[in-house]
Amino acid sequence: MTTNVKRLQVNGLNFAVTDQGDAGATAVVLLHGFPNNKNMWGKQIPPLLKAGYRVVAPDLRGALGGESYSPQEPEAYHIEKDIVKDVAGILDALNIKKAHIVGHDWGSPVAWAFAALFPERTLKLVAISVGHPSGLLKGEHRGAQKQKSWYVLLLNIPGDGEKAMTSGTMFDGLQTEESQAMDGPMFQELGMIEAMQKPGAVTAAINWYRANANVSLFLTGAMFECPPVTCDTLQIFLSGDSTFCTEGQAKSSGQYVKPPGIFQYERIETPSHFAPWTDPEPISKSILGFLKK
């Protein structure tokens, strides 16, 4: 069971996909967020393999520092129209009929949408940091979440979004010193700083926002209208998420889990939003504990 990065042609695009473990084992699909790539999950993969799972971690479209093809057009990044079909196509290419789906950051709305639109292919769902895409700016948390989502509108401005992203100062004064100390090395280790210098790489990464979190989000309260899910679901909120996310948008996601699915909520105390890499042990423990139930 050695590391195996495969090149897969899916939906007319070329994807780099880490595929490890026994081909006959139950699969766990790990979906990274912004501005990360598949290597964000590097510290979850060993414990999942040790527990007997097959682990699949793709570089999604626009992965900063990733190896998959990244279109430059925002229209190619709609989660419900494009990204979930990429995930389904990757499973098809690997001959996987059903899997546990785990997402972090932008990977969470993808995971929610996949579980909703492909229920027959979803065993369990784990969403880290971000809740159901229909309820991000709805409910009692909507005012606080709008305030935390100010940067979303900045990233939607062509040119200015790219400048803000590469400046390295967009979140100055908002993150704790402990969080900044943990996150800085991660950006270097996962190749994201180097990737920012490549033409079109930052634009491709920002396209996730331009397609799914634009002015429409602030007007409707939803990234997109996504059906509820019917599988058992674990929503994890990290205390380090508080720079970007309210806990309310995570907790309220239980309303989008319908029978026979059971909703489970967990808060993990950790300084960084990027805890799968910066503080992996509690993340791995929670994922494994939930999947084994």
Query: What confidence tens digit (pLDDT) does each residue in 62-100 have?
Result: 999 999 999 999 999 999 999 999 999 999 999 999 999
Q: φ and ψ at 159, to 5 degrees?
A: 85, -60
Please give the pLDDT value at position 178: 72
Distance CA 183, CA 51 (A): 28
The whole-number mean pLDDT for each consecutive block of 10 residues of the chain, a chain of 293 residues, reads 80 97 97 96 98 98 95 97 98 98 98 98 98 96 95 94 87 70 85 93 97 95 96 97 94 98 97 94 98 93
Please give the pLDDT value at position 167: 87
Distance CA 272, CA 254 (A): 24
pLDDT tens readout for residues 142-156: 999 999 999 999 999
Please give the pLDDT value at position 4: 86
Which positions ≥6 away from 119 have C-beta within 8 Å?
A: 229, 230, 231
End-to-end CA distance of the chain: 25
- List, in sequence order, every beta strand (DSSP E) within the chain: 5-10, 13-20, 27-31, 54-58, 99-104, 122-128, 232-238, 263-268
| Structural Rg of the chain based on CA atoms | 17
